[in-house]
Chains A and B, each alone.
Chain A
């Protein structure tokens, strides 16, 4: 069973703090990793993708990947109330063309 695990939360942080979201996956052949943000009642939207071990930064977002530990994380710096949403971790198992396997999502709440 190929699985993607996330802590469902809710994760509560004050405005301006760093939010840390974590994800583990079970299949070692996983190649591509994605973080989607989903606001309540809306569809998922991609915010970060990462394919190689290490860190990838995009504005206030940093994705971290450790394939040996089968672990991927998302850091949100200077968290804003508008970051309050559910964050979905997704994994693509092979190099091309396969569907994504999603975790159940972590709900983030940023208080002002």
Chain B
């Protein structure tokens, strides 16, 4: 079955370290997204991509970067981890349909703790 996976599922790191969170989907979806979820803020969009070599900034992109070298993967990099980036990170993907009615599917999430 097609799916979307994230790794690692849990990560503890130190302030200032570079961290990369992986996201892999087997639906062959063009659209991929990264969100973070924090108490009191809900899901907030970090970066998104509509295809290979396309990346766009979301609402809370500062301190994060992404690159899209193939259809299946959209890794999220924290350039220099900060305690404010402690959060649960969700990757999502969707296929393109006319009228914007495509369903967005979420990965299982990565819990990141920055000490």
A96 and B100 contacting across the interface, CB-CB below 8 Å: yes
The answer for the CA separation of A31 and B97 in the assembled complex, in Å, is 13
Q: Say which residue of A32, A43, A96, A97 sits within 8 Å of B106 (CB atoms).
A: A43
B88-115 interface with A by 8 A CB criterion: 90, 96-109
| Chain A residues within an 8 Å CB radius of B31 | 97
* Residues of A with C-beta under 8 A to B103: 46, 49
Chain A's interface: helix, strand, loop or mixed, by majority?
loop
Is B60 close to A, CB under 8 A? Answer: no
How many inter-chain contacts with C-beta < 8 Å in the A-B complex? 60
Say yes or no for A88: interface residue by CB 8 A criterion: yes
Q: Is the interface of B mostly helix, strand, loop or mixed?
A: mixed
Whether the pair B48, A99 counts as a contact (CB closer than 8 A) is yes
Would you call A94 and B100 a contact (CB within 8 A)? yes
With both beta carbons as reference points, the residue of chain A lying nearest to B34 in the complex is identified as A99
Please tell me the number of chain A residues within 8 Å of chain B, measured between CB atoms.
25
B108 CB contacts on chain A under 8 angstroms: 42-43
Does B45 lie at the interface of the complex (its beta carbon under 8 Å from any beta carbon of A)?
yes
Q: Which residues of A contact B40 (CB under 8 A)?
A: 104
Interchain Cβ contacts under 8 Å between A and B, 13 examples: A31-B99, A31-B100, A43-B90, A46-B103, A49-B103, A88-B42, A88-B43, A95-B98, A96-B100, A97-B50, A101-B45, A102-B43, A104-B40
